[in-house]
Structure 1
């Protein structure tokens, strides 16, 4: 029997985010800080961050997709070090790595259309 570490969503404390995390942000001391939440808490957490930014007169910008993927890679690498035999974490990390290998889409010129 293999022990599997459970990482709970810090927002709702209900969901295991070990292999299904979503990067969000919050203001800590007036500075954006990243934390990971479950699928259900992602949109409310981002809305809370946006409202906090507006209240603190800090410009809000969405987290770029590639930055989100890099953050997820770090999160899953940490989980994999803790429980190297957890196939869910391995699969999630593989998916993030696959998506990071896809290059950004470049704008086509009008002549190519």
Structure 2
């Protein structure tokens, strides 16, 4: 029995392993190319190795390594899912992922507690 599909769904593959579809489950990391940092999105399985590769590349090029800040990661993911949503507006997984990222971005960062007088 042949499967029928009601719509075409664009697939975004992980650029590192090329196996996983990251359309609704992307993880932001970075690449170092010609001394410039570029954001890239990978699958869950490739995230830690890709971040380690970035850290090693930074050290090899005498560039200080800085972990990607959470809010910066969320902004990158928001842009990624907005692009995916524009390409596939009827995909509920992408809409859910974007809504989750928007919800997380709407939460104010925790402020440092004031020092207690001793």
- Quickly name the TM-score band, shorter chain normalised: over 0.9
Per-residue deviation, 1:2:
1.8
Which residue of the other structure, out of 29, 34, 37, is the alignment partner of 1:32?
Answer: 37
- Which has the higher Rg, Structure 1 or Structure 2? 2
Instruction: Give the unaligned 5+ runs of structure 2.
Output: 1-5
Matched position secondary structure for 2:11: coil
Q: TM-score, normalised by structure 1?
A: 0.96
In the TM superposition, 1:12-91 aligns within 5 A as 12-91=17-96
Report how many residues are paired: 112
Q: TM-score, normalised by structure 2?
A: 0.92
CA distance in 2, matches of 1:110, 1:28: 43
Counterpart residue number, 2:3: none
Note if 1:106 corresponds to 2:114. no
CA distance in 2, matches of 1:109, 1:57: 37
Matched position secondary structure for 2:41: strand
CA distance in 1, matches of 2:33, 2:99: 31
Hey, which bits of structure 1, 4+ residues long, moved more than 4 A? none
1:70-108 per-residue CA deviation (whole Å, 9 max, x = no partner) reads 000000000000000000000000000000001100111
Say what the alpha-carbon RMSD is for the aligned residues. 1.1
